[in-house]
Amino acid sequence: MNTFPLFHKLENQPILIIGGGEVAMRKADLLRRAGANLTIVAPSIDPEIKLLLNKDDSYNNLYPNSRHVFIEETYKPTHLQQQSFIFIIVATDNEALNKNIHADCKKQGLLVNVVDTPPLCDFIFPAIVDRNPITIGISSNGKAPVLARLLRAKIETIIPQQYGKLAKIAGDFRNEVKSKLPTINARRKFWEHAFNGKYSELIFAGNEANAEQQLKQDLEKFSKVYADNSIEQTQQQDGEVYIVGAGAGDPELLTFKALRLMQQADIVFYDALVSDEILDLCRRDSDKVYVGKKRCNHSVEQENINELLVKHAKIGQRVVRLKGGDPFIFGRGGEEAQELAKHGVSYQIVPGITSASAMASYTGIPLTHRDHARSVRFVTGCLKKGTPNEQFSSMLEPNETIVFYMGLHALERLTTGLIEAGKSKNTPIAIVSNASRSNQQVLTGTLADIVKKQAHAQLPSPALLVMGDVVNLHEDLKWFNINTPNSHTK
C-alpha cells in the first residue's frame, strides 16, 4: 500500500486552487460539494467556474468574507499566506510554474497536489462513488487514473443510489439502537438483520416511511429478546418474492435492481427463456429450480408455480421468480402477483426489457417511425388454453406496427387470416429468432411469401413476428451480428 486512504472533513475549510481553466473547474466542483471554502487564483478565471461557485453564495468583490473568493492575478508566493489553507491544488498548464509553486508549498509546510503530476503530489484525488453518506474512493496511486475511473463506473452499476438513504436513516437510529442494545455483538446482529432484511428492501422500493417503521419494529424485537440472551431468535426474516424481468437474453440488458435482487435470492424459479448467462448472475449458492413452460410442454403448471412462490416465502426465504422479457407483458406476472397478494406475501415486481423492444433495437426495425408507423401493438399469437388468436379484423391499420408473441407455430394461420381479412399480401413481415442473443437470426418477407421462406430457413423458437412498413428499414439499420454466419437470413 503506497498511500493510506483517509476521508477528510472539508466543510468550511479553506482550500486554494491555482488555475482557472477546465481542470481547476473539475476540482472546484468536487471540493465545493464537500463544503469547502475555495480561493481561486489565476490571471483569467473561466466564467463557468464563477457561475458554478456563485451557486453557493452571492459572491461580491465588496465582501471578502464570502464563501468563495476569486483573485484574478498572476500567482505570487504571498497567495499561499492569505489564509491558513489546509492544502493547495495546482491546476495550471505551465510546467515550470507548477514546479515553483510546489517548491513554495514545501517551504511553508503546505500539502500540495499538482494535477496529473504524481511526483509533485502529497496526496491523490481518488475516483469517487458518492452515495452520501456512503463514499467509496478508488485510487491507482497516480499510475492509471483512467483505469480507476473505469473501476468506479463498474462499482456505480452495482450500488444503487438508495444505499445513501439506507445509511442516513440508520444513522438517525444509532443512538436509540445503542441504548436498547448495549453490547457490540447485539448491535452487529441487529444491523446485519436490518441491512439484509425488510428494512432495506422497503428503502430500495422507495417506501421510506414504512422502512423507518420496520426498523423500529425490528429494534423492539431485538430489545425484547436481548435480556434472554437469545438474539439469534430474531434472525428469521420475513420472506418476500421478487418477480424479476430478465429481459430478452443479453445479460447487459438487465436492470441494476434485477441484478441486486438476483444476487441475494435464497431460491430462484426460472423460465425456459432465461439464458444461462443471466442465470449465472444469480447468487451462486441459491437453489435454482426450472419451471419453464413451452407450447404444449409445461414442466410445472402455473397453479403449482404460484403455490411454490407462496410456500417458500412463508418459510422466510427470499424468492426470485425470474422471467424472460417483462413479467407483465405476456409473462403471467400479474397472475403470480394476485396469488401472492391473496396470501399476504410481500412482493416486488421488477420490469425487464420485453423481447419486442430488444428485437427492435437489435435488428434495426423501429417499432414506431414518423414516416411508417404511428402506433405499435403487442399481440399474442396464441390465446388462453392454446387457442389461436384470430382477431384479424382489428389488425388492418396500415400505419401500425404489430408484434406477435408466440406466433411462430401459427405463422401460416396468421398470414392467411390477415390476407383474408383484407391486409395487403405485400405487407412486410419479419421473423426474429433469439432476439439480442449471439445466435440472433432475422428472416424478412411479406405476408404472401414468409411461410415459404420460413419452411426453407427453419428459424427456431423463441421467435417474434413483426409486421408493418418498419420492417423495410431493417436492411439499412441492422448493426448487430451482421458479420456472424447465419445471423441474418433473407
Please name each of the domains of the chain with its CATH number.
14-125 (3.40.50.720), 162-234 (no CATH), 240-353 (3.40.1010.10), 356-489 (3.30.950.10)
Bridge partners (DSSP) of residue 320 are 242, 268
**Total residues found in the chain within this entry:** 490
What is d(CA 345, CA 177) in angstroms, rounded to the nearest whole number?
Answer: 28
**Closest to 79 (Cα-Cα) out of 36, 34, 19:** 19
What is d(CA 273, CA 255) in angstroms, rounded to the nearest whole number?
Answer: 17
Q: What is residue 59's predicted lDDT score, i.e. its pLDDT?
A: 45
**Closest to 97 (Cα-Cα) out of 125, 69, 70, 117:** 117
Cα angle value 377/401/467 (rounded, 5°): 110
Q: Which helix (H) or strand (E) holds 48?
A: helix 47-53
**Closest to 391 (Cα-Cα) out of 418, 367, 412:** 418
Give the 3-state secondary structure of residue 320.
strand
- Walk along the chain (490 residues) in steps of 10 and give the mean pLDDT of each run: 88 96 95 94 95 72 67 96 95 96 96 94 92 92 89 87 90 91 84 85 88 90 72 59 94 90 92 92 92 67 94 92 95 95 94 96 96 94 64 91 93 94 96 93 97 96 95 95 57
Q: What are the backbone angles phi and psi of residue 348, rounded to the nearest 5°?
A: -130, 150
Q: What is residue 482's predicted lDDT score, i.e. its pLDDT?
A: 73
**Closest to 283 (Cα-Cα) out of 309, 244, 311, 310:** 244
pTM over 0.85: no
Q: What is residue 230's predicted lDDT score, i.e. its pLDDT?
A: 54
Cis peptide leading into residue 133 (ω within 30°): yes
Q: Residue holding cell 452499476? A: 157
Q: What is residue 55's predicted lDDT score, i.e. its pLDDT?
A: 80
Contact 19, 94 (CB under 8 A): no
Q: What is residue 158's predicted lDDT score, i.e. its pLDDT?
A: 81
What is d(CA 218, CA 214) in angstroms, rounded to the nearest whole number?
Answer: 6
Edge-to-edge, what's the strand order for the sheet holding 267-270? 287-290, 267-270, 318-323, 240-245, 346-350
DSSP 226-266: HTTT-GGGGGPPPPEEEEEE-BSS-GGGS-HHHHHHHTT-S
What is d(CA 20, CA 27) in angstroms, rounded to the nearest whole number?
Answer: 11
Q: What is residue 384's predicted lDDT score, i.e. its pLDDT?
A: 58
Cis peptide leading into residue 462 (ω within 30°): yes
Give the active site residues: 271, 293
